[in-house]
Amino acid sequence: MLQTLSTSRVFLALKSFFLDLSPFSLSEWAVNIQRDSYASYVGHYPLLSYFAVAENESIGRERYNFMQVSHQYRYRVLLIV
C-alpha cells in the first residue's frame, strides 16, 4: 500500500510537469518503470553482482530471474488504485 501511495504521488508530480498524462496511463507508466528497472539490473554487471550476493545466488541465475520478471511486465498491466 505504501509503494502504491508513493507511486501515485510521483505520478501526480510528473503529471504537473507533463500535462498530457492521463489518469489511465498510470498503470502503463508503472509497468514501464518496473520493466526498465529490471532491464537496467541485467545490463549493469556490478548491480547484478550486488543482487546475486545479497540473495546468495549465482550471477547467471539472477540474470535469468530478472529477465523472466521483465518479460512478465511486458504484457502485464498493473491496476493501481
Residue 26 Cα distances to 12, 51, 69, 73, angstroms: 9, 28, 20, 14
Cut 0.85: pTM above it: no
Q: Evaluate whether residue 12 is within a structural domain.
A: no
By CB neighbour count within 10 A (0-12 exposed, 13-18 middle, 19+ buried), where does 5 fall? exposed
Q: Is 5 within a domain?
A: no
Q: Is residue 49 part of a domain?
A: yes
pLDDT (tens digit, 9 = 90+) per residue, 6-23?
777 777 776 666 555 565
Residue 73 belongs to a domain: yes
Residue 78 falls within a domain, yes or no?
Answer: yes
- Domain limits at 75? 24-81
What pLDDT digit, counting tens, does each position of 37-62 carry?
Answer: 888 999 999 999 999 999 999 999 99
Distance CA 2, CA 21 (A): 22
Instruction: Examine residue 36 and state whether it is found in any structural domain, yes or no.
Output: yes
| Confidence at residue 78, expressed as pLDDT on a 0 to 100 scale | 47
Domains in the chain: how many in total?
Answer: 1
